[in-house]
Structure 1
């Protein structure tokens, strides 16, 4: 069962939705939440920036102002999180390094990392709406992610609220190691417990009936179907038509290297998914 959640805090729309879902999920499961504030000192201090001769004093003043602005923004984000928590107690961790390093270091002490699809964590805006930090976490991290798009409501049945069971969890299975690991971790964390679950099996060598039994053993109200065709198009269409509360997905493994390629089917699904995505490498 899930016991601890690491929440990546910033003020992007996806991060705000992720924050609300993390608190609602924690209330439902009893998990503890740790909110991570990333200050990224090397980036905000211009530590690696070349400074022209005679411009050192100007650069120092500018960097001081930038650092103050980052601190003030962090305090605003944290204050908003405390309001959104509505009395739910959570821990706060501040780290000074780059977002990728901060989340990888903290993530090893938690069961799940919850992050907004567009989270910048102090960096520049994501041009395509998908945070590059997510790629690093899937490539180098050992923990599953819950990637939340802007506009997703925390009270969506089947994800955090758990009462109406009207919006199923949609699971993609293609027989890959990543898909099997993801399914295993999702089941062990208990995130699908008592939920309506629909599994689409794109692999010819596995049995949908066996997968359905496995999910049922983990107290999910599951159905599994063998399907063929383009997984990207089928999963997106199914997620929209159900509509799904959550998409469970294994990250791509290309050329034998465990790496998410941001032109891959995984990345396209992450960018386009209408619901939150539980994903593992």
Structure 2
């Protein structure tokens, strides 16, 4: 059940794929959208020391970066509001000028789902944040996240669930099944190699399929052989069965070491041309 969606703003909402996907989910579920943008003045001021005699130049550069950040952030939120109003989707603005992480955590507390681009926009900065910032958000507790690559269009026709046998991947799978962001979308559930839980792949897949079917989903399954490049195996198999959405799990400890499923989640976020639903 989705009633409130936190939508992280982009510089140009009219051309952003994640905005269109958030609108689709909102209309489908009768949800409102909260448009989030934060201008982190401290971060924008971090441009390194000034050379000898360059203090005034450094001061002007910082002032211009902050001014641009504030201006583009205001324009982005106004653009989101206009798009939501045109689509009859209730809209609230969450604009802050403080620390981005703290502000985002505050905004997320009473939201059901966070939707954002795979290249997170930082107002005033010339470069988007890299994919690791997305797992940083997961580690902060902002779950679940739906990450939408720029260029994706339409509504996913099928979702693929990658189960590792861990509780984290099961939680992500259950979050998606219970939330139904895209309605009764067909699910394809897969394992790669031996599950971490120690059970046979067929047993894990049977339990997951039974759970999804009880929730009204059409389900298919596949047990893939062990692969050195697990992310590539998942993506290639997903493409072969027509999956246009990937559901993965990640955990805080694995994120810190960037190993196991943490690195798998990062790989999916980096390489997938389709949306990725991440939780833990």
Report the alpha carbon displacement of residue 62 of structure 1 after superposing the two structures with TM.
Answer: 3.9
- Superposed, 1:148-187 pairs within 5 Å as 148-153=148-153, 155-156=154-155, 158=156, 167-187=157-177
- What's the CA shift for 1:10? 1.8
TM-score under structure 2 length normalisation: 0.83
Calculate the aligned-residue CA RMSD, in Å: 2.8
Instruction: Measure how far apart 1:74 and its partner are.
Output: 1.4
The Cα shift of 1:258 comes to 5.2
Aligned pair count reads 266
Please tell me whether residue 64 in structure 1 is matched to residue 44 in structure 2.
no
- Cα distance in 2 for partners of 1:79, 1:124 equals 21
Instruction: Report what 2:141 is aligned to.
Output: 141
Deviates more, 1:193-202 or 1:33-42: 193-202
Task: Tell me which residue corresponds to 1:197.
Answer: 187
Q: Report the equivalent of 1:220.
A: 217
Q: Residue 170 of structure 1 aligns to a residue in which SS?
A: strand
Q: Deviations over 1:51-104 (max 9, x none)?
A: 678766555444333322112211332233234332433111012223333222
Q: Secondary structure of 1:175's partner?
A: coil
Contact persistence 1:208–1:224 (CA under 8 A): yes
SS for the counterpart of 1:6 is strand
Contact 2:143 2:278 survives alignment (8 Å): no
Unmatched 5+ stretches in structure 1: 159-166
Change (3 A) 1:260 1:212: farther
Between the aligned partners of 1:229 and 1:16, the Cα distance in structure 2 is 37
8 Å CA contact 1:193, 1:219 repeated in 2: no
TM-superposition CA deviations, 1:122-154 (whole Å, max 9, x none): 34524xx8433212111121421101111011x
Distance 1:179 1:260, change over 3 A: farther
Are the counterparts in 1 of residues 31 and 90 from structure 2 also a CA contact under 8 Å? no
